[in-house]
Structure 1
């Protein structure tokens, strides 16, 4: 029997135990996990150094190495996020609605765990902790399959977490890591109907599309982040500069960073040269349309392929447009329904942008970098859904539940 089937079977058995636990029992387990992540810092960071060294040897880009890297500060942030999840309401068993039927039946609608969640993701070891703890708090077992670039880190993190769970009421088998780095292990998970209840992919476009196209297990699709910031004619320069530089350069390797800056022609004529210099100061390469390159001589040409690319790097497309209508058209053509922003002092334009742009999160005068479960107050996130069924946007605890109807009668039969 394969590793995938063995571990998914163990997770399913553990889910039956996990489903019976109280909020207090789950929270006690998560506190043990949060403590263990800090107590075992040296062990985890040593494993992470193995991954970083291997990544450098293989020529991994600096932005991807940043996604992979753990530090004492980042590990503390991860532990703090677990503690925040402990403080959040337990979504399991919540009474969502009640019905009294004319025939005397009493019906309750309550939230229940999804069951066993499979998560396929790439080189961000913090996702290992976020995903695992969100699943456990919401009463779900989880089978994790991370990228090979973070394998040593993930092994250490999961070992530490399972050791902590073994001292709690939560069965350690509720948390599983697939260590087989061959793509066949992913393909096997996609067909694991009856053991996995849902699969959530997190990563680049190729990973997500492979899961969506080939899975027979239900999928919650998280999308790539080709995010835009549109600076309208009335955009205030200092605000526009602060928001756009933050959206691109604060952490370019993540999915909510900006990939294309759209600028109204009036703003561009007045301010694009100055704004471009700010990007150059933080080592961002600009690729732009003809108007952009007329104004910014050092910008490279941008193609349609560039406008459709999630760089996750210090590269930014720039598009100068005539009006809001053209900006909306560009986003509709190249956007991935993730996060979009307008910088404007025109309330009517802001309202139109936020109404018409089809994205999981739309912003007026704020950076797209806020599309994040922690920033939204969810403690952490399992991913950012760009689909429209079941869940959309940053997925916290409630998104990891389904519903059950409980029907109470006094002997009624249907005639």
Structure 2
């Protein structure tokens, strides 16, 4: 048996273990799942020195490979970060359990009682890049919602992820939740990811978390149903009726508060009616934060007129760009309709914002923009499970089936119908009550 065959057999082994674990996990009451999550949090805290040691190997290899420092920061774990991860697990335990919740219900004319209730999805596969905190976050959310999880992180975090999964499995040993409900996909090759993507029948849904290339690869190659997440070419549109002070603050916050995340703004659209007054101010504010503006001809003309540096010509690719850096594409538009057309052409369906004092224009924008979240006079940075009051999220979905926007615990469930009768038979008169 060759290496590829052995890797596939090992994947199938752990996938079957996860699938089998769902039979025990799915019907567990909230108290049992919460106790397991607290055991995981305690286990992470106790094993912090071992986790940090394992992580140091990943970080050292990343530095040797010349990985950018901001990526190394996302990879790195410390005792403080592990404590924060453990606290996040405890917060998940405190959230309401969606399993068994009645979505809708009624009594039919024939007397049958109909209820649609939430049930776990089953086995959830997660493919993600070099952020070991996702290993724990995803596992906690899946367990709380009654799902087993198959975790496939990047090779850059393999030592960290292996240790984290081992700690979580050890913690589960003393609980009602099966250890097998949390599994790390074996191997670091491209084939190991393909095994997960093509495990239809063993894996119920696949969630990719990462950049555009990862998400596109999973969507195009997977035979398992995929929930797309994450790619965020988010736009801020400053309307002709905008409060300029508010507009400057929102544009700067949306771009610079944390530029490397999917809900950071990548595009600034400015109505021509206020461009002359607004652009010099926002260009100054963005330059002060170190932002490079990729401007269209009208933005460039304004920059030249007012002696602003830090503005470069925008290309067609800039309108599509998810920079994840201190860059933003800026364009002057002649109407709200032109702004919406730009967003529909170039946007990723994540989050868009309008800054305006006109309720009419705000309503038009909200109705016309086809994105998972639309902000009115607020930063795009608020599209987040915790900010929305969901407590946590598995990712931000930009597709339209089942889940859209920040995915909390309810989005990690499906539903089933429960029909209760009193001897009802199809085609016969219902029994008398």
Does the alignment reach a TM-score above 0.5? Answer: yes
Alignment check: 8 A CA contact 1:45 1:71 kept:
yes
Alignment check: 8 A CA contact 2:237 2:270 kept:
yes
Alignment check: 8 A CA contact 1:221 1:387 kept:
yes
- Report the TM-score when normalising by structure 1: 0.94
Alignment check: 8 A CA contact 2:124 2:147 kept:
yes
State the match for 1:241 in structure 2.
248
Work out which of the residue numbers 97, 108, 114 in structure 2 matches 1:101. Answer: 108
Q: Following TM superposition, by how much is the alpha carbon of 1:226 offset from its aligned partner in structure 2, in angstroms? A: 0.5
Alignment check: 8 A CA contact 1:223 1:336 kept:
no
Work out which of the residue numbers 84, 94, 100 in structure 2 matches 1:87. Answer: 94
Q: How does 1:223-372 map to 2 (within 5 A)?
A: 223-296=230-303, 297-372=309-384
Asked if 1:170 is matched to 2:182, the reply is: no
Alignment check: 8 A CA contact 1:287 1:315 kept:
yes
State the match for 1:377 in structure 2.
389
Work out which of the residue numbers 16, 33, 42 in structure 2 matches 1:9. Answer: 16
Pick which of 235-244 and 100-109 moved more. 100-109
Count of matched residue pairs? 415
Q: Distance in 1 between matches of 2:80 and 2:337?
A: 44
Pick which of 20-29 and 44-53 moved more. 44-53
SS in 2 for 1:277: helix
State the match for 2:212 in structure 1.
205
Pick which of 326-335 and 241-250 moved more. 241-250
* 4+ aligned runs moved over 6 Å, structure 1: none
Q: Distance in 2 between matches of 1:293 and 1:53?
A: 43
Q: Following TM superposition, by how much is the alpha carbon of 1:321 offset from its aligned partner in structure 2, in angstroms? A: 1.7
Q: Following TM superposition, by how much is the alpha carbon of 1:46 offset from its aligned partner in structure 2, in angstroms? A: 3.1
Distance 1:7 1:321, change over 3 A: same
Q: Distance in 2 between matches of 1:313 and 1:298?
A: 14
State the match for 2:145 in structure 1.
138
- Report the TM-score when normalising by structure 2: 0.90
Pick which of 404-413 and 306-315 moved more. 404-413
Asked if 1:29 is matched to 2:41, the reply is: no
Pick which of 221-230 and 270-279 moved more. 270-279
Pick which of 217-226 and 74-83 moved more. 74-83
Q: Following TM superposition, by how much is the alpha carbon of 1:102 offset from its aligned partner in structure 2, in angstroms? A: 4.1
Q: How does 1:23-62 map to 2 (within 5 A)?
A: 23-62=30-69
Q: Following TM superposition, by how much is the alpha carbon of 1:118 offset from its aligned partner in structure 2, in angstroms? A: 0.7
Q: Deviations over 1:321-372 (max 9, x none)?
A: 2222221111111111101111122221112111211110100111111111
State the match for 2:426 in structure 1.
414
Q: Distance in 1 between matches of 2:292 and 2:238?
A: 19
Alignment check: 8 A CA contact 2:142 2:149 kept:
yes
Work out which of the residue numbers 113, 119, 122 in structure 2 matches 1:115. Answer: 122
SS in 2 for 1:325: helix
Q: Distance in 2 between matches of 1:102 and 1:343?
A: 50
SS in 1 for 2:263: coil
Q: Distance in 2 between matches of 1:198 and 1:19?
A: 16
State the match for 1:388 in structure 2.
400
SS in 2 for 1:2: helix
Q: Distance in 2 between matches of 1:206 and 1:305?
A: 15
Work out which of the residue numbers 72, 76, 100 in structure 2 matches 1:69. Answer: 76
